[in-house]
Structure 1
Amino acid sequence: MALGTIFQHDTTDPLAVITAPSPNESPEEKAAREEREAEARGISDLIDEELRAERAVRKKEEGMVKILLLGQGESGKSTTLKNFRMRFARDKWIEERASWRAVILLNLVRSANTILHALSQEMDDEQFGLDDAFTFDDYYRRYRLRLSPLLQGVESNLKRLLGAQPEEIEPQKQTHPITLSPRTSPEFFVRSRTWRNFLQTTRGPEVSGCSLEQDLPDIIDSTEAIANCKDDIKTLWRNDIVQAMLAKRRIRLEDSASFFLDAIDRLSVRDYEPTDEDVLRARLRTLDIQEHELRVDDDADAPKWKIYDVGGSRTQRHAWLPYFDKVNAVIFLAPISCFDERLIEDSRVNRLEDSLILWRAICSSKLLSRTILILFLNKIDILEEKIRDGIMVNRFLPSYGHRPNETSEVVKYLRQKFKDTVRHCSPEPRTCHIYTTSVTDTKTTAVTLISVRDGVLRGYLKQADLF
């Protein structure tokens, strides 16, 4: 009998000779070999399946417009994404709206607690006159006692409900006294995956297998605790001495703090349901990358959009680079109201200066040389408030010189600064679309988004040689 017949392989193939079973193979060795071969085939099949899935994803994304939302922390990226979803994914937005109730209550409670912490530090530092000392000692200590439920239980309960780990719930419990920077207490955050799971389990039984009913008792308990304290919170928030103390200590509450504190009567009722504006102003910092698919055009043949919201703090910016590949457009958020503010991560750096440095890096990137650039000069409403209050721009921005301290002039000056950066730093000539925005204003932002959509789609078709 020929050797090739015995081994059932081609003897002219050296690899076949090497991998052929031994002619003296025992039944046990054969079983072990066949088990190894089956395991190898399983691994090979798994790899093939993963490759097919990856090719399917790539094929799907080939016909998709990829958008990056970039900017420093608190620039308005998440609010811009909410506007996109509210405008172009309305059904899902409405499904998730009730889930934001816990976040909104947490925003409210954290603002009140920040004021309490500031009062506590003011009393400890004894940086006030005798009359003021009597007022603080006799009057505000009573409020601290009355509002103690906010400090002791409500904030922790809401954080736990949103999926925080035990070590993330009580970061203020330290052996040394709390020191407040010109900012709120350390910002609370959740993981993106944890937040997505929370959204899915609080949309109601018709949407998922879980129900809002399982979390409702905790939310109701927190709401009732806030309702019991609401008159004291309002008195404290509206007190002129407290406002003067916050200004003196340069305590910067969240941009939405006044909105929620002023709306406490509406938010602290048992059957409260979040509105679009409530959700838009609610702040929840999520780690990791958030991504959402949207259909921004009624035409079924129009490409879908995939929008990525990447973190803006310095510790998160290293994650930006992988998302630069094959991106169609970058929407960069530059908060122009922050000319008098410092970075949370580094109090030596002016926030507006940091925005310009980031913008220069985006414009200079060769990976983004053919990417459509869209710039939102954001928070125009807060800029107007600051100028109305008499804050001089040139005190914090010497290059502004003796130009009029007026909103329109400041916007004109900064628009030119950002436009010059595009012209001087881009690897090749490009167009940049610039909008002055207040992304918490849903009506004007909706108009802006339509303009952005049309501009991006024109650029996308042009890049695809279909224009």
Structure 2
Amino acid sequence: MGACLTLEREEGKARKRSEEIDKQLVEAAKQQNNVIKILLLGAGESGKSTLVKQMKIIHADGFSHAELSSFRPTVLDNLLASMKYVLAGMGILRINLEHSRNRMHAQVVLMSRSCFDMSFTVLPNVAASLQALWSDRGVRLAVARGYEYELNDSALYLFENMEIICDPKYVPTPTDVLRARVRTQGIIETRFCINDMIVSMYDVGGQRSQRRKWIYCFDDVKAVLFIVSLSGYDMTLLEDPTVNRLEESLNLFGQIVNNPFFREASFVLFLNKFDLFREKILCSQRHLRLYFPDYKGADGDVDREYVCASEMRKILR
């Protein structure tokens, strides 16, 4: 008799578990129908990952303290790499250090593989060298002319906040995280809610070597958000210095729009980094006609040069 009761109880528990699983499956199916899948595409360095982080901050309660802390080695790596790049740029521009004593600090930076120890605390000698170099007028002049050797967008921000970043108790802020540059490898999914909709945004590597992975994201895509960096009109690809970044974006956009996998998808073209584009046009004398001979407008006409630089919009019409 006892065995029968035990068996009945076990069968009851099994039925309850089965019913609970069925409910979860039904709920998952409902949620899946309520998910908007967005594929984030564009050439490398266009700002895709930054946009994803902005969406997380705005719509997904931002970054936890642990998540912010996890970006610390990335920010420190970016700081060291940026200073190394500036020192290399000084050689290209033939700019000398203002103080000869800073040559020793330049050597410390150039010879350092990392600027932090196992606990992600900045090495004192590297921190001292970074700060000494940032105080040098030659370094500052090279940073101001960074567009001439393709210095990254975040370098100036990192240098201006160097003292805070090098503090042993430093924890990155959301703004620091937005500025942090990590090359996307593979496919990264970020989910957030807008009203009653669940948005699933997929960020994939923009470098040529990463693009073959895009095909795996094409199933059930509702929209394609294609991002273009306008400020890249005078820059070349990291993986191929013979190819202009804006031309690469134009060609890539044409391929994506005409891809049969996206026949049912909506397209959004996001022209990014207009502020940097405007600054280059107005302040650097690197006018659009120097890189796109078809441009016939006046130098310094930001509005007209913007229209020319965003010609890929015609593909959507």
The whole-number CA distance in structure 2 between the counterparts of 1:263 and 1:240 is 14
SS of the residue corresponding to residue 136 of structure 2 reads: helix
SS of the residue corresponding to residue 36 of structure 2 reads: strand
What's 1:146 paired with?
A: 105
What's 2:267 paired with?
A: 373
1:85–1:93 CA contact under 8 A, matched in 2? no
Structure 2 CA distance for partners of 1:237 and 1:85, relative to 1, 3 Å = farther
1:70–1:332 CA contact under 8 A, matched in 2? yes
What's 1:66 paired with?
A: 37
Identify the match of residue 202 of structure 2 among 308, 333, 341: 308
What's 2:6 paired with?
A: none
Q: Give aligned pairs, total.
A: 292
The whole-number CA distance in structure 2 between the counterparts of 1:57 and 1:340 is 50
1:227–1:269 CA contact under 8 A, matched in 2? no
- The Cα offsets for residues 369-411 of structure 1, whole Å up to 9 and x where unpaired, read as 2211111100101101101213211121112212453222222
- Greater shift in the superposed pair: 306-315 or 261-270: 261-270
Amino acid corresponding to residue 290 of structure 2 in structure 1: R
Structure 2 CA distance for partners of 1:149 and 1:345, relative to 1, 3 Å = same
Question: Which fold has the larger relative contact order, with Cα–Cα distance below 8 Å and residues 6 or more apart in sequence?
Answer: 2
Structure 2 CA distance for partners of 1:327 and 1:244, relative to 1, 3 Å = closer
What's 1:220 paired with?
A: 121
1:356–1:418 CA contact under 8 A, matched in 2? yes
What's 1:345 paired with?
A: 239
The whole-number CA distance in structure 2 between the counterparts of 1:283 and 1:310 is 14
Identify the match of residue 294 of structure 2 among 396, 399, 408: 399
Amino acid corresponding to residue 401 of structure 1 in structure 2: K
1:64–1:306 CA contact under 8 A, matched in 2? yes
Structure 2 CA distance for partners of 1:152 and 1:367, relative to 1, 3 Å = same
What's 2:154 paired with?
A: 256
1:81–1:309 CA contact under 8 A, matched in 2? yes
The whole-number CA distance in structure 2 between the counterparts of 1:56 and 1:228 is 59
What's 1:439 paired with?
A: none
The whole-number CA distance in structure 1 between the counterparts of 2:262 and 2:243 is 26
What's 1:354 paired with?
A: 248
The whole-number CA distance in structure 1 between the counterparts of 2:80 and 2:222 is 40
The whole-number CA distance in structure 1 between the counterparts of 2:139 and 2:66 is 38
Alignment of 1:25-174 (within 5 A): 59=29, 61-119=32-90, 139-140=99-100, 142-153=101-112, 155-156=113-114
Structure 2 CA distance for partners of 1:56 and 1:311, relative to 1, 3 Å = farther
The whole-number CA distance in structure 1 between the counterparts of 2:208 and 2:88 is 27
The whole-number CA distance in structure 2 between the counterparts of 1:56 and 1:94 is 35
SS of the residue corresponding to residue 114 of structure 2 reads: helix
The whole-number CA distance in structure 1 between the counterparts of 2:144 and 2:159 is 17
Amino acid corresponding to residue 410 of structure 1 in structure 2: E
> Is residue 289 from structure 1 mapped to residue 184 from structure 2 by the alignment?
no
1:147–1:232 CA contact under 8 A, matched in 2? no
- The Cα offsets for residues 131-189 of structure 1, whole Å up to 9 and x where unpaired, read as x8xx66x944x323224443444x4365xx8xxxxxxxxxxxxxxxxxxxxxxxxxxxx
What's 1:275 paired with?
A: 173
Identify the match of residue 327 of structure 1 among 221, 224, 231: 221
| TM-score using structure 2 length | 0.81
What's 2:18 paired with?
A: none
Amino acid corresponding to residue 166 of structure 2 in structure 1: S
- The Cα offsets for residues 323-361 of structure 1, whole Å up to 9 and x where unpaired, read as 112101111101111111111212221111111111111
Alignment of 1:421-436 (within 5 A): 421-423=315-317
The whole-number CA distance in structure 2 between the counterparts of 1:146 and 1:414 is 41
1:68–1:309 CA contact under 8 A, matched in 2? yes
- Greater shift in the superposed pair: 377-386 or 341-350: 341-350
Amino acid corresponding to residue 234 of structure 1 in structure 2: W
The whole-number CA distance in structure 2 between the counterparts of 1:91 and 1:258 is 24
How many percent of aligned residue pairs carry the same amino acid?
30
> Is residue 231 from structure 1 mapped to residue 131 from structure 2 by the alignment?
yes
Amino acid corresponding to residue 211 of structure 2 in structure 1: R
Q: Structure 1 regions of 5+ residues with no counterpart?
A: 1-51, 162-214, 424-467
> Is residue 418 from structure 1 mapped to residue 312 from structure 2 by the alignment?
yes
Structure 2 CA distance for partners of 1:58 and 1:410, relative to 1, 3 Å = farther
| TM-score using structure 1 length | 0.57
Amino acid corresponding to residue 152 of structure 2 in structure 1: E
Q: Structure 2 regions of 5+ residues with no counterpart?
A: 1-21
1:65–1:306 CA contact under 8 A, matched in 2? yes
The whole-number CA distance in structure 2 between the counterparts of 1:274 and 1:68 is 28
Amino acid corresponding to residue 144 of structure 1 in structure 2: R
Alignment of 1:172-251 (within 5 A): 218-222=119-123, 224-236=124-136, 239=139, 242=142, 250-251=148-149
2:47–2:229 CA contact under 8 A, matched in 1? yes
What's 1:336 paired with?
A: 230
Amino acid corresponding to residue 288 of structure 1 in structure 2: G
SS of the residue corresponding to residue 201 of structure 2 reads: strand
The whole-number CA distance in structure 2 between the counterparts of 1:364 and 1:346 is 24
**Larger CA Rg, structure 1 vs 2:** 1
